[in-house]
Structure 1
Amino acid sequence: MSNSTAKQRLDQLIQEAASGASTPAPERDLWRGIEHSLARRQRRSGKWLNWVWASAACLVLAVGGVTFMGMHEPAATATGTPPAKALLAYLNAQHEQQREFVLTHYQTAGWNGESDFVAAEVEQIRASIQEVSAQLLEEPDNQALWQLLQWLYNKELELLESQFVVNDKLQQV
């Protein structure tokens, strides 16, 4: 379309709109394309929604099955280890990892080294941890012993952290 014909067509549409004789209409019927697009979106979203519901149902069944099996499992785990012994082994291993992390971290950042007094205190705390662990194997339902073990873990870490000395004079200010 040339510039003059486009201008003439625009002028004609403006005059028709001003006179109210006719309303502008598209050159072809657009509703068929719109309906097709909406129907396609509904079909696509319906399949997706079905997959979501199916996944949610599987998840609920899996969690329910695991919970049901866990409730009816005997007091010993699959390896024959009592739950208290397994928990105690896990807690001791976790504390070892924490202690090694503290030692490694502080040695790289300015560890002063243990004094003889601190070394003796750490050994005493470790011996206490072993005694409490042995007692917990005999009395796994004793809540006070579990709390004492946690307190001993914390005290050992605090004692090790107390040996950290800042070497950088700017950090001391």
Structure 2
Amino acid sequence: MNARSPAPGGLELVQSLVNTLDLESGADALDTPEARASLGLREDEVPDARELRESLRATLLAHAGHPPHREVTPLTDLLSRAPLRITVDAGDGSATLTPTDARSLVSRVAAAVAEALVTGTWARLKACEASDCHWAYYDRSPAGRGRWCSMQVCGARAKMRRYRGK
């Protein structure tokens, strides 16, 4: 459904994870070996990935100014399990934050969130306002007030419902 381009940097991982569930059809890409492989997941890691996905979705809804629609584990609780390491280059003093377990999805997500906080992009990753969508998208609008993953789909539907309601 999402017609927008991928989020920048590590946020593309977060966006990809949240968008593994199509709320409208109920299709969960984490049920497929291809999607699990693209996220570096084993089948036994899927329940934890689903919990992380819904916690991220709730946070992205909050970024868009909306309360989450269901109870989820707080993202803080999940990310606190992610061991990260700061590495400082002796030559130029640059620093990077990396997961200590590069295979761990929660560690990779935590590193992506930390990177996005530093670059100022975290709050622009949002979930679509449409209750049957909640697709993750990166808001590139100048004012950062985007509401839908796609103006042509979800935005048009919302405007049509509002028009017909009058």
Instruction: Give the alignment's TM-score, normalised by structure 1.
Output: 0.21
Higher share of residues assigned strand: 2
Rg larger in structure? 1
Higher RCO (CA 8 Å, separation ≥ 6 residues): 2
